[in-house]
Amino acid sequence: MGVDLTDFPQGLADQLGIDLFAGQILAACIMLALLLFPTLFLTKKFNFPTITALIMGMLGLGFCVAVGWLPIWLFTVICMVIALMFSKQVIGIFQRGS
């Protein structure tokens, strides 16, 4: 009589009348919202760097991939987009160092 987390996207999709893929994306968005909203509020209140929210987001997405809620290719695409967003900052750090 336990809870099976891997069936959550399918149950969500069945209840809402949408595809399984849409249910997986919705389940991943719910998980991200549960992790990121408190993290963003705390980083704003205590002046933590925003990289903390990025780390929590990646942990949440990794959890979603691990339990089968999110396809691995979508996780990879999200990581590539985030890497492209921060590429100018990384290049700037290495150019200042030399």
Residue 2: its pLDDT value, please? 67
Residue 14: its pLDDT value, please? 94
Closest of 7, 3, 2, 4 to residue 69, by C-alpha: 7
For residue 53, is it left (φ>0), alpha (ψ between -120 and 50) or beta?
alpha
Residue 51: its pLDDT value, please? 82
DSSP assignment letter at 6: G
* Mean pLDDT value of segment 19-44: 92
Q: Residue 97 — very low, low, confident or very high, per pLDDT cuts 50/70/90?
A: low
- The whole model's pTM is what? 0.78
Residue 17: its pLDDT value, please? 95
